[in-house]
Structures are given as structure tokens and as C-alpha cells.
Amino acid sequence: MDARRGPLAVPKVRRVGFFTSTDPSQESPRPNRTQSGPADAITSSSSPLSDSPSAHFISPVQIPPSRHHSDNLASRAAPVPVPAPSAFRRQVANERTLHVGSYNPVDSLLGNSPPSSNGEVSEDSGSLFGFQRSDSAKLSASFPNGGFDMTMRVRAPQESESKAVIESEGRKKNVEASGESKSVATKSHKEKEPKEKPSKAERRASQERDRARKAAAKGEGSKRAGESSRANPSKVAKQPQLKKELPQGTSSVSEKRFVAVEKERRMDVPQTQMQYDDKSRVEKAKRRSVVEQTESKNKVELFLHLPQYERRNQLPTLSSNIFTLDTIHHAVYKVGLQHLAGDISGDNARCIAMLQAFQEAINDYATPPMKDLTLDLTAKINGYVSFLIECRPLSMSMGNAIRFLKNQIRKLPADLSESEAKASLCSEIGRFIDEKIVLADKVIVQHAVTKIRDGEVLLTYGFSCVVEMILLYAHEIGKNFRVVIVDSRPNLEGQKLLRRLVTRGLDCTYTHINAVSYIMGEVTRVFLGASSIFSNGTLYSKVGTACVAMVANAFSVPVIVCCEAYKFHERVLLDSICSNELGDPDAIANVPLRTNTKHSKTMDNNKNLQFLNLMYDSTPAEYISMIVTDYGMIPPTSIPVIVREYRREDLLL
């Protein structure tokens, strides 16, 4: 994989990173470095790459060996604003700095004696991230993705100063092997992998150790290990060594705060947000899991934080299990399987199905003796939810609905009898479905129809049930308009809409997204559905929506988004990478009607080819003219007001 990365990483940026880091260190004293700090920090996302250029451009001999960590510390103390590299870049950076982080301690262990290019590199990056250190811990809470990783990496050199003395032999060897040049290093990797590939027993033992260690250094160790190991499963063997150092590290105040933050995060971040590049947590989740998931072979690197499993192959076993299950209520199980198989798609449908299953489950629920209904039921629901996540990651709207349900359970008056409590919960769920989804849709239709004039050409993308209702209703009340349905592979949901509209006698045009820029010229309104809308007005919807919205914007066609208010989310979304869902990669690899699967077979084995089947993308607020919601027609800037004013009770969890 390093080989794969090689060509990606060559560009100039790395040279820049290299020069800024080496030059001052060679001739001038450390303070210079602090001055150049911001620049360094800004390029930090790319600078980790500098490990290989250093190899390219400078022979190990030329590189000054000694780096005083105290200097580093000084520079770290300098208050340099944290640059905010976009999360996706950071993700890449993580991936790449992996070696840096892991080699760091050894670098100092080797002391000043062997001038190794690797030392240079790790040092460099260490200081780079050192700049960010002070703030990144604070920031980390707000970054679901990368925040922690940064600080993790930073810590490594520091710890190494204090007590990196204890090192395993193999590790030293590793470092020495990689100490020459990057290319060699990668080779050494490959050599060592088979050697260190653990047996099952070993792995289990290491896991046990992990767990014990985690008690000491909660989130950190695991996080870091996850970091380093996620790229390649075969690197699991390296984890223990890595982690060994961590608990020994100076458990400073910041570390404690860190743990607290991590804990906090775990508490309040909905489970949909689990980072799948976090090995240990994935491990833990797996142990609990009902669904046997096989990880896909060729993972897409940028999206390692998302679950990448091969779907559909576990469906038969699961459906045969339906009579033997005990922990999961059958209704929930059924819904889970439907999600998995894709029988239920569409956010509203999924959400309603889930809520109805919960309703059924609550109806059949009986509080075990000596247990509290509130607590036990919440735990039960949690179990169901994690099962559903295993089947398919939750949508934002489902997350909101679950939050609502839990809130209802929490708010149950203590003096209610069990049957009463159950009845009230069920009615609350029913009310939620009626008010927030069914009625909301009706209101949205009423609002949106006022924006359809005679003779207009409306464009819609994919399939959204609200948009369908709007179009049908507008047709019913005698508006005269034409519909353009834009569709995209692999789901081709638009065909469903097309079929329904055509049978009702609407005038339709069907095209694929490739032609959107052509067709947009004649369009007067764009109607889009939504999976969620975030506080900054970013629309999170089926992949391709952003493209349609942007083209419409370029043609100055108003973009109208129809979204029920229960789908609004109080978080902020900046890109489509932090939070997304990956679909079945085979779906894009295999083209139906083209039956020679030989192609994809050969492609499957190709390490250099990954299939990325993104399910969602995010559309920035400036491309949206209007959001039609159950509270009326509002601009995208007003989402936070709705969230603040009308979902306050949900937020005060």
C-alpha cells in the first residue's frame, strides 16, 4: 500500500514541507522553527508525507542527526493558531503519518548516534504537530474525526523522551531497517508483515492486553492503535508494541482532560458516529454484534472511518436465524433485515418502519424483576439500535427519532404502572410518526405547491416521497407543468418515480445525471428531497444532489429542498467525508446487462483499484434557495432557529 501511495505523494508540497523543516534545523537555532511554525502547520496535512521526499532528495548522511526534544517542546509551547485543515485532508494525513508516529519513539531511543533519514522525518512531523498541540486537544471535541489523531501523534515524541527506553527487539530492528530511506522502509514493512502476522491465539492475547491497558489509558491508546492499524489489518501485530509506550507516557493533566473528553464524546455522540478506523472499538462492537460482517477486501482509504463491509452475503444466515433469536425482538429484527436487503429505502420509510418495530417491541416488553423500566428499556432500545446499525448505518433522521424515543422513556413519570408507561410510549411514537412525518409531509406539499406555476418545468433528482407527493398533488389540483426526472446509477430510484408519475398522467422527461447540465437550461425549478439538513444549512442527501444543485445554481434556477423538520440536525457538516455511508462496492463495479463479470473479477484482485460507492453527499447552503419544511418556507440560514425553537426538548438531553 505504501507503494501505492508513493506516486500520489510526490508533488511540490512535500518539497516545501521538507525545506522548511530541514533548513532551519540544520543551521539556525530552534526559535526559527517557531517562526516558520504557522506555515509549517498549515502544510502539516501534507508535510507528513515528507518522509519519503527526504529520502528522495537527501541522503541520510546529509541529514543532521540530533534533535533536541526540549527544543521541540519550546516550539510546542508557542501559541500558534491551529490551522483547520479540512477533515478529509487530515484523514489522509493520518494515514500517511502512521509510520512517523510509530517510529518516533525509537528515533529518540537511538539517540543522536545514527543519522537516519527517518529520524529526521519523524522529528519534523512531531514538531509540526507540536504546534497544534495546545489547541487541538480542545478542538478535538468538536471534530468528530481527526481531532484526536492529531494530538495522539503529537504525544508520541514527547513520551519517547521520557521513557521510550523499553523497547522490543523487533521494533528496533524495524526502525533500523526503515532508517535508510522510505523505499527501503516500505520494503521492510513488507518483509516484516509475514513475520509478525499473529496467530489467532496471539491476537486474542493481544486483545486481552489491550483491554487491560485501556483501563489505564482510556481512549488514547486504542485510538492511536486504531490509527496505525487501520490501514492494513495485518499490522495488528504492531499495535501492542505501540501501545506499550502509551500508558508509560507522562500522564499529564492534558492527558486526563483528554480522557475526559474522550469519555464525553463517547457519551453523547450518537452511535452512528462510530469511527470505524478505531480498531478496538470496532472489535468491541463486533463481539456484541448479531450480524456477522465481513470487511470488504479493498477498502477505500479516505473513508476508512466508515464501515466498509460486504453486504448481502449474510442475509441468508440472518434470515434463518429469525426463529432462534433471543436478544432482538422479531419486529426489530425484521426491519433490520429489510434495511440490510434494501427492501426499505428512503429515509421516511426507514424511520417509520423502525419506529413501528419499536412500538411493537415496547408492547411486548416486560420489565424483568428487580429492574427499572426506564433504564432497562433504554438499554434494550440501545441494543436494538446497535443491531440496526449493523444492518445498515442509521440515517440522521433515524438518529433523531431514536433520540426522541429515548427522551420519552426518560421523561416517563415514575409513578406510572408498566402497562400505562408502555401505552403512553406507544402513543407517543404513533404521535411522532403522525405529526412529524405524515402531517409534516402534507404541510410541505401545501407550501411547495404554491411555488409551482403553470407552464413550469420542474426537475427532481432520484426519488423522494415528499417530492412525489408534491408533484402528484400539483397535478391533481390542475397545475400544468412538466417534470424532468434525473437519475443516477446504481440505484436508479428515479425509475420508480417515473413509473408512478407517468401512470398518473404527468408529462415526464427521464434522464441520467450525466445530462443534467444539458437539461437544466429548460428547467425553471428544482425540487430536491433531503436525508438531513445540518445547522449550517448544508443539505445532506443522496449522492449526486450537490451536483444537481450546483448546476441549477449556475443556471440560476431556484433550488427548493423539501425536508421535514425532524430531519434537521444540530451538528454542522462541512464536507461529505466526515459522515457518509458507503454502499455495496459491487453495485458500481458490475453493470447490469453487461454480463461478462470477468472484468470485475480481475479488478477485484487488483490492489490498486477500490470501488467507492458513496451514498450521500453534502450541498453547501449557498446553492439552496429555499427549504420547505413543516414550519413553512425558510431560507437555509434559519435551520438553527427551527432546531433551537422547536426541538429544544430533544436537545436538552
Partner 1 sequence: MWRRSASFILDRTSNPSSPPMANNTTTQTPFQNPDAISAYYQTRAAHHHGVITSDWLAQAQAAVEQPPDDEDSSVSDHGNYEKSFDVIDEFNGWRKQPDLAEAVAAIRALAAVIRASEATTMMELEIELKKASDTLKSWDKTSISLTAGCDLFIRYVTRTSALEYEDFNSAKSRLLERAEKFGEISCKARKIIAMLSQDFIFDGCTILVHGLSRVVLEVLKTAAQNNKLFRVLCTEGRPDGTGVLLSNELSKLDIPVKLLLDSAVAYSMDEVDMVFVGADGVVESGGIINMMGTYQIALVAHSMNKPVYVAAESYKFARLYPLDQKDMAPALRPIEFGVKIPAKVEVERSARDYTPPQYLTLLFTDLGVLSPSVVSDELIQLYL
Question: Closest distance between partner 1 and the C-beta of residue 556, in Å?
Answer: 9
For residues 38 and 558, which CB has a smaller minimum distance to partner 1 in the complex? Answer: 558
Question: Closest distance between partner 1 and the C-beta of residue 626, in Å?
Answer: 6
Judged by DSSP in three states, 533 sits in strand
Task: Give the contacts of 529 (CB within 8 A, at least 6 positions apart).
Answer: 460, 462, 463, 464, 465, 466, 467, 541, 542, 561, 562, 563
> 520-549: b or e for each residue (b if 16 or more CB lie within 10 Å)?
beebbbbbbbbbbbbbbbbbbbbbbbbbbb
For residues 368 and 632, which CB has a smaller minimum distance to partner 1 in the complex? Answer: 632
Question: Closest distance between partner 1 and the C-beta of residue 625, in Å?
Answer: 6
Question: Closest distance between partner 1 and the C-beta of residue 628, in Å?
Answer: 9
For residues 230 and 451, which CB has a smaller minimum distance to partner 1 in the complex? Answer: 451
Side-chain-facing half-sphere of 108: CA atoms under 13 Å: 24
Question: Closest distance between partner 1 and the C-beta of residue 397, in Å?
Answer: 21
Question: Closest distance between partner 1 and the C-beta of residue 198, in Å?
Answer: 56
For residues 335 and 552, which CB has a smaller minimum distance to partner 1 in the complex? Answer: 552
Which has the closest alpha carbon to 252: 74, 133, 170, 348?
Answer: 133
Task: Give the contacts of 646 (CB within 8 A, at least 6 positions apart).
Answer: 565, 631
For residues 300 and 621, which CB has a smaller minimum distance to partner 1 in the complex? Answer: 621
Residue reference for cell 442527501: 541
First to last CA, the chain: 44
Question: Closest distance between partner 1 and the C-beta of residue 529, in Å?
Answer: 18
Q: With contact defined as beta carbons under 8 Å apart, do 536 and 573 qualify?
A: yes
Task: Give the contacts of 221 (CB within 8 A, at least 6 positions apart).
Answer: 210, 213, 214, 243, 246, 247
For residues 453 and 499, which CB has a smaller minimum distance to partner 1 in the complex? Answer: 453
For residues 318 and 639, which CB has a smaller minimum distance to partner 1 in the complex? Answer: 639
Query: What secondary structure letter does DSSP report for 72?
Result: H
Residues that bind partner 1 (CB under 8 A): 451, 453, 525, 558, 560, 625-626, 631-635, 637-638, 641-642, 645-646
CA dist 517 and 523 (Å) reads 10
Q: With contact defined as beta carbons under 8 Å apart, do 369 and 420 qualify?
A: no
Side-chain-facing half-sphere of 234: CA atoms under 13 Å: 11
CA dist 131 and 86 (Å) reads 17
For residues 328 and 560, which CB has a smaller minimum distance to partner 1 in the complex? Answer: 560
Question: Closest distance between partner 1 and the C-beta of residue 634, in Å?
Answer: 5
